[in-house]
Amino acid sequence: MRTRQAYRFALDLTPRQERVVLAHAGAARVAHNWALARVKAVMDQRVVERTYGIPDEHLTPTIGWSLPALRRAWNAVKADVAPWWAECSKEAFNTGLDALARALTNWSDSSTGKRAGRRVGFPRFKSRRRSTPSVRFTTGAIRVEPDRKHVVLPRLGRLKLHESARKLARRLEAGTARIVSAAVRRDGGRWFVAFCVEVDRAERAPAQPQATVGVDVGVTNLAVLSTGEMVPNPRHLDGAARRMRRLARRASRRVGPDRRTGQRPSKRWERANARLGRAHARVAHRRRHGLHKLTTRLAREYATIVVEDLNVAGMLRNRRLARRIADAGFAELRRQLAYKTGWNGGRLVVADRWYPSSKTCSGCGAVKTKLTLSERTYNCTVCGLTLDRDLNAARNLAAFAAEVTTAGSGPVAGRGADHKTRQGRPVAVKRQPGIALASKTGTVPPQGGTSNHMLTKAS
């Protein structure tokens, strides 16, 4: 199986190398801002001309938004706009133009309804102090040195890695990987290089080819499996909150930037702000590391994994749980499961967000009309089952996999529960080995209203 994946390594740059990388990131920002100003000027001019009644055929000609068109326009004026252009690699300017081309395309598709999801705004100019420095290389000398502790990038030369690149080097030496591009980026005060690699992955099978597991994510426990295992929530943000508050107070006492008066930040503010940024980056890295360990174990162990399509944006509106939900990383967990199940020969089934996994009894299939967030134990009034709320939901998710005949990572409607849950009469269903029992329920036609599933799943 041929796929693309990224290998990310921390860099140990010398002061001179850091200045060179920053110069390339600045070149990308200059090209981006110039092209955006040119596109915006033409668009504004056409709007003004229409107010004067000028017909469309006589308006100022439009300019292309594609990367080749922007690159041709930049090459024609770069000697005047950036006389120092020869000091940086052409890939630096291409990085900024490519980012603008993608942003304009996303904005256009979102405005015309071609792009699903949240509305995308018009691109903004990149600031020297607020934007994240980054540059991407797609051509030239891009390789990992034989000592596996250095990498070579165009115009940047030989850069030292903070860690060994043996995982990538082994694949390159075996001929099962090919580097497509390399991106250098500053994150949390450190520089990283990320290689986009085409990899020939061997066909793999899960350790339990017939096993199915339901995963119910929450705040008290990060994940509750239908097998009974409960993965505790590490709460990295809570652990670092005291230190981050102290660093934030220290930065607030320094002289920071003021856009209204044009005041420049002091060196002490920059150092304090850098420490605060490193603290936030450490929390993000620890969270990502824990999610990778969990998702890798699940993808290698089980053939079918069932999760829910949670409305995380809606759950974040709950001001009492927003910080805990954001710290858990529900979306990242699902994203990692989506591609890791494919790598390991499994499948990911995503139940629709209206599927009443928490309100359905995993023993008899009866569905409760309401289930408050404070009820941590599920008590069935029909069969008398008493079970942990999250474990009951995980078992219902595992049983839901038996009802799905097609694999995929897209949301699958569950039992037609697309509106407010109504009390249903349980119908017997045959047990299947290795899968928790959950019966189908009859549902009453929807009577309007919204489901409280958004809040009941924030557990």
- 95 plus 211 within the same structural domain: no
Q: Which two tokens stand for residue 72?
A: 């041709």
Domain contains 40 = yes
Give the pLDDT score at 83.
94
In the chain, the number of structural domains is 2
Q: Which residue has the tokens 């699958």?
A: 412
- 281 plus 399 within the same structural domain: yes
Domain contains 129 = no
Distance, in Å, from the CA atom of 284 to the CA atom of 329, rounded to the nearest integer, reads 10
109 catalytic? Reply is no
Give the pLDDT score at 150.
96
Smallest CA-to-CA distance from 328 within 380, 297, 287, 362 is with: 287
Q: Which two tokens stand for residue 421?
A: 């849950």
Q: Which domain-ending residue is among 76, 105, 134?
A: 105
- What burial letters (b/e) apply to 103-139, b meaning 16+ CB within 10 Å? bbbbbeebeeeeeeeeebeebeebeeeebebbbbbbe
308 catalytic? Reply is yes
Distance, in Å, from the CA atom of 302 to the CA atom of 164, rounded to the nearest integer, reads 31
- 322 plus 453 within the same structural domain: yes
Give the pLDDT score at 63.
86
Give Cβ neighbours of residue 374 (< 8 Å, ≥ 6 apart): none
Give the pLDDT score at 245.
95
What residue type is 397 in one-letter code? L
- 101 plus 210 within the same structural domain: no
Terminal alpha carbon distance of the chain: 38
Q: Which two tokens stand for residue 102?
A: 């993608």
- 84 plus 216 within the same structural domain: no
| 50, 59 contact by CB (below 8 A) | yes
Give the pLDDT score at 410.
46
- 398 plus 281 within the same structural domain: yes
Domain contains 313 = yes
Domain contains 409 = yes
| 35, 82 contact by CB (below 8 A) | no
- 220 plus 328 within the same structural domain: yes
- 218 plus 73 within the same structural domain: no
Domain contains 318 = yes
Distances (CA, A) of 98 to 32, 91, 120, 184, 351: 8, 10, 17, 15, 36
Q: Which domain-ending residue is among 86, 105, 124?
A: 105
Pick the catalytic residue from 216, 229, 332, 418: 216
**Model's pTM, two decimal places?**
0.80
Give the pLDDT score at 345.
92
Distances (CA, A) of 127 to 20, 33, 63, 100: 19, 9, 24, 14
- 296 plus 436 within the same structural domain: yes
- List, in sequence order, every residue forming a beta bridge with 5; answer none if it has no partner: 197
275, burial (CB in 10 Å: exposed 0-12, middle 13-18, buried 19+): middle
Domain contains 44 = yes
Structural domain containing residue 81: 24-105
- 309 plus 431 within the same structural domain: yes
Cα angle for residues 318, 326, 389 (degrees, 5° grid):
65
Cα angle for residues 166, 21, 192 (degrees, 5° grid):
35
The per-residue pLDDT for range 201-257, each reduced to its tens digit, is: 888 999 998 899 999 999 989 999 999 999 999 999 999 999 999 999 999 999 988
| 243, 276 contact by CB (below 8 A) | no
Which residues of the chain fall short of a pLDDT of 70? 405-459
Give the pLDDT score at 75.
95
Give the pLDDT score at 442.
36
- 70 plus 214 within the same structural domain: no
Q: Which domain-ending residue is among 52, 84, 105?
A: 105
Domain contains 254 = no
The per-residue pLDDT for range 121-158, each reduced to its tens digit, is: 999 999 988 899 999 999 999 999 999 999 999 999 99
SS (H, E, C) the chain: CEEEEEEEEEEECCHHHHHHHHHHHHHHHHHHHHHHHHHHHHHHHHHHHHHCCCCHHHCCCCCCCCHHHHHHHHHHHHHHHCCCHHHCCHHHHHHHHHHHHHHHHHHHHHHHCCCCCCCCCCCCCCCCCCCCCEEEECCCCCEECCCCCEEEECCCEEEEECCCCHHHHHHHHHCCEEEEEEEEEEECCEEEEEEEEEEECCCCCCCEEEEEEEEEECCCEEEEECCCCEEECCCHHHHHHHHHHHHHHHHHCCCCCECCCCECCCHHHHHHHHHHHHHHHHHHHHHHHHHHHHHHHHHHHEEEEEEECCCHHHHCCCCCCHHHHHHHCHHHHHHHHHHHHHHCCCEEEEECCCCCCCCECCCCCCECCCCCCCCCEEECCCCCCEEEHHHHHHHHHHHHHHHCCCCCCCEECCCCCCCCCCCECECCCCCECCECCCCCECCCCCCCCCCCHHHHCCC
390 catalytic? Reply is yes
Pick the catalytic residue from 98, 187, 308, 352: 308
- 456 plus 309 within the same structural domain: yes
| 221, 388 contact by CB (below 8 A) | no
Domain contains 284 = yes
